[in-house]
Amino acid sequence: MDTLSIVSFLGFTLLVAFIAWYATRKTDENSADGYYLGGRSLGAITIAGSLLLTNLSAEQIVGLNGQSFAQGVLVMAWETLAAISMIVTAIYLLPKYMRSGITTIPEFVQERFDAQTKSILSILFLVAFGIVLLPTILYSGSLAFSTMFDLSETLGISQSVVIWICVWSIGIIGSIYAIFGGLKAVAVSDLVNAIGLLIGGLLIPVFGLMLIGDGSVSDGLSELWTENPEKFNAKGEIDSFIPFSTIFTGMMIAQMYYWGTNQSILQRVFGAKSLADGQKGMILAGFVKFLIPIIVVLPGVIAWHVFGNDLKNADQAYPALVRKVLPGAFLGFFAAVLFGAILSSFNSLLNSSSTLFGVDLYRQYFNKNASELKMVKAGKVFGLLLALISMSIAPFIANAPDGLFSYIQESLGSLSVPILAVVAVGMATKNVPALGAKIVLTVGVMMYLISQFVLSPHFVDAALAEAAANGITDAKELSIIKAKAYPHFLHIMGILFVINVGFMLIMGNLFPNKNVYTPKITDEIDITPWKYAKVVGVAITILVLSTYLIF
């Protein structure tokens, strides 16, 4: 990175910080609503930008483009199908959440079941956020950033030292936003970074197509489509990353968990001025999410056309393409945007962790009579402690075995099935008791972990051993045998979701809830729904489904 790049990087990063400070300078950060929900003052556009940046991190940009480099546009399902789950959340779940005036998802679970169920759910979220996700985001984001811009050579220091510097830089800046600025500072900075990411992210495929088409984007797209038809098949085979059949089972379970029950996502919407603003923000984000594959999938296919088998690792595809096609004048700006994307994922999770501790655990177990000010301070202290722990752990992930990230992502699936089952059944029924929810939140997690890390390796190893004994050596044939040996983890999620829901319904019949659940209605915000929500939602859903007719 030359001097111009460094200046533009620092300039955009400081601009984001100034805008976040200016927008939040009058917000009362000493009240729970002010700190955790931005004073319930977020507009639709701010919510949409924050949702997109919370979700879209550097590891996702690099990782999805790496997968599309290897297998084509079929991985777009993670992005396009997210739009449908966001529509469902906006139309059906948000009214039920926001009419109660809740700050966290565990609060809703407490209202429906009891305080112990809320505590179990809060702890599950904190384990996922604090021990796994925060260190992973810090390390993988730092690795992607340092590799893409070759910071080791630029700074003249070793890669391990660069990782330490990046981890602590992201961690400290993210902590300032999340702990001292509250949700509104996080959301406003997310909005500015989201605009930058959309602009910067679109530059990569544009310049990439111009490279292929000798200056013409349309000629480049035509050649890309003609020369690589296998990369534009959205219907994955049985041994692909996303077999087509998984779209109808666990894919939507994973999407509904993430967009419909995940605290770090929904906290942005709970800070809305009104239910209508929350719905508009999520639906707008859903529409943009439908377009995001242009940024996180198409560059991978372009990289395949440009580099072919020259790259040692698929995850090098995006960084290599950026270095090849992006003019030097844009490099600092794109570096700042990417830095902001990494920062956003970190500070969003950290802010949500502070909220979960301060709102759901501090008053219940540490100080039942705590004032809002004390609750906010406790959340800040917890967030700071969690940030220091995650920053200390993150660099050591470099010493972990290969494939750790995919291993972690798969293990996090253990949370999505039981949490979604509990929330869905809690909304749909009134007679299922708290005991059923508690069993699902504990036993359900163990069932998934046993399936994926005990049963799956056993059956796969047995199938491959039998194939070896039969003299099968063809890589494609072995890949299919491995895929058929045990159901894909998304299928397992679908199966376990049905089992968990069925168990809770049986518990409701055998041991019906004695205290009938009556949802409370808040008067803190306007809960009138957006009158065009269903019409716009249906239109976006049709757009998403049409992509599978095109590809």
Amino acid present at 71: Q
DSSP assignments along 507-525, one per residue: HHHHS--SS-------SSS
Q: Give yes or no for a contact between 141 and 58, defined as CB atoms under 8 angstroms apart.
A: yes
What is the model's pLDDT at position 20?
67
In angstroms, the CA 65 to CA 78 distance is 12
Using CB atoms within 10 A of its CB, is residue 476 exposed (0-12), middle (13-18) or buried (19+)?
Answer: exposed
At 302, which helix (H) or strand (E)? Answer: helix 298-307
What is the model's pLDDT at position 402?
45
Q: At a CB cut-off of 8 Å and minimum separation 6, what does 185 contact?
A: 20, 21, 23, 24, 177, 178
What is the model's pLDDT at position 179?
64
pLDDT digits (tens, 9 = 90+) for 16-41: 777 766 766 665 555 555 454 555 67
What is the model's pLDDT at position 46?
84
Task: Please name every residue paired with 42 in a beta bridge, in sequence order, or none if there are none.
Answer: 272
- Smallest CA-to-CA distance from 310 within 320, 298, 299, 301 is with 320
What is the model's pLDDT at position 1?
56
**Three-class HEC string of 367-419:** CCCCCHHHHHHHHHHHHHHHHHHHHHHHHHHHHCCCCHHHHHHHHHHHHHHHH
In angstroms, the CA 110 to CA 105 distance is 9
Report the interhelical angle of 44-55 vs 263-270 (nearest 10°): 170
Q: Give yes or no for a contact between 82 and 286, defined as CB atoms under 8 angstroms apart.
A: yes
- Smallest CA-to-CA distance from 135 within 160, 167, 162, 103 is with 167
Q: What is the pLDDT along the chain (551 residues), one digit of tens a residue?
A: 567 667 777 777 777 777 766 766 665 555 555 454 555 677 888 888 878 877 777 667 877 888 889 888 888 888 888 999 999 999 999 998 888 777 778 888 888 898 899 899 888 888 887 777 888 888 877 877 777 777 788 778 887 888 899 888 888 887 776 666 555 566 676 677 777 778 888 899 999 999 999 889 999 999 999 998 888 887 878 888 788 888 888 888 989 998 999 887 888 788 888 899 999 999 999 998 888 888 889 999 999 999 988 877 777 788 889 888 888 777 777 877 777 777 777 777 887 788 788 877 887 778 777 777 788 788 888 888 888 888 888 887 766 544 445 556 666 778 889 999 999 999 888 889 999 999 999 999 999 989 988 999 999 999 999 999 988 888 888 889 998 999 998 899 999 999 999 999 999 999 998 777 777 776 777 788 999 999 999 999 998 888 777 66
Residue 3 burial (CB count, 10 A)? 8
In angstroms, the CA 388 to CA 346 distance is 12
What is the model's pLDDT at position 401?
47
Summarize the chain as % helix, strand, coil (round to 5).
Answer: 80, 0, 20
Report the interhelical angle of 58-71 vs 328-355 (nearest 10°): 120
Contacts 24+ apart (CB under 8 A), 91-94: 91/279, 91/533, 91/534, 91/537, 93/260, 93/427, 94/269, 94/275, 94/278, 94/279, 94/282
Q: Give yes or no for a contact between 57 and 193, defined as CB atoms under 8 angstroms apart.
A: no
Q: Which two tokens stand for residue 62?
A: 């690099």
What is the model's pLDDT at position 232?
86
In angstroms, the CA 434 to CA 322 distance is 51
Alpha helices in 394-488 (DSSP H): 404-428, 434-450, 456-469, 475-485
Q: Give yes or no for a contact between 338 and 198, defined as CB atoms under 8 angstroms apart.
A: no
